[in-house]
């Protein structure tokens, strides 16, 4: 696992333009675990023979694995602990394959201090810099941690 994050200081983590990221190589174990936890045994993800006959020619990883990396950044790096997700929009742009290294990046686009709301652009790119996910998240700081 590669962790390539740079978290802004607490003083400016809500400033528009602040960014953080997290990278992980998707493994066979990740796919098997997610299938078991969610019950998503789509043959495109778990059956190599089936997947060979598709447009991709190989198994793809569940897109949820990559969007989960976004969640990791949001909840542990930027904005970080003490927030809850109010909404998240995700658009899947292309397949993710076992062995791909996915980098999730979040960037602050708006901060509403009076409401404790932060809006962030979210993206995931593979090792070839091809964007596989784009989206947006709105997070709210819990008042207990704002004091």
Contact between residue 98 and residue 28 where contact means Cβ atoms under 8 Å apart: yes
C-alpha distance from residue 119 to each of 13, 22, 59, 95, 102 (Å)? 12, 18, 34, 26, 22
Residue 125, number of CB atoms within 10 A of its CB: 21
Q: Which domains does the chain carry?
A: 19-27+62-146 (3.10.129.10)
For 112-134, what is the mean pLDDT? 96
Instruction: Please give the average per-residue pLDDT across 7-31, as a whole number.
Output: 84
Q: Is the pLDDT of residue 99 over 80?
A: yes
């Amino acid at each position: 696992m590669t962790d390539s994050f740079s978290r802004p200081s607490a003083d400016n983590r809500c400033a528009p333009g602040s960014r953080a990221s997290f990278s992980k190589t998707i493994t066979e174990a990740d796919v098997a675990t997610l299938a078991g936890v969610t019950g998503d045994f789509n043959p495109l993800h778990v059956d190599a023979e089936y997947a060979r006959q598709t447009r991709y020619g190989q198994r793809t990883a569940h897109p949820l694995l990559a969007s989960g990396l976004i969640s990791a950044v949001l909840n542990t790096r930027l904005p970080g602990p003490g927030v809850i997700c109010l909404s998240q929009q995700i658009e899947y742009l292309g397949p993710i394959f076992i062995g791909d290294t996915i980098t999730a990046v979040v960037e602050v686009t708006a901060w509403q201090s009076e409401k404790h709301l932060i809006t962030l652009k979210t993206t995931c790119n593979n090792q070839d810099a091809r964007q596989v996910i784009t989206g947006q998240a709105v997070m709210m700081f819990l008042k207990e941690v704002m004091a």
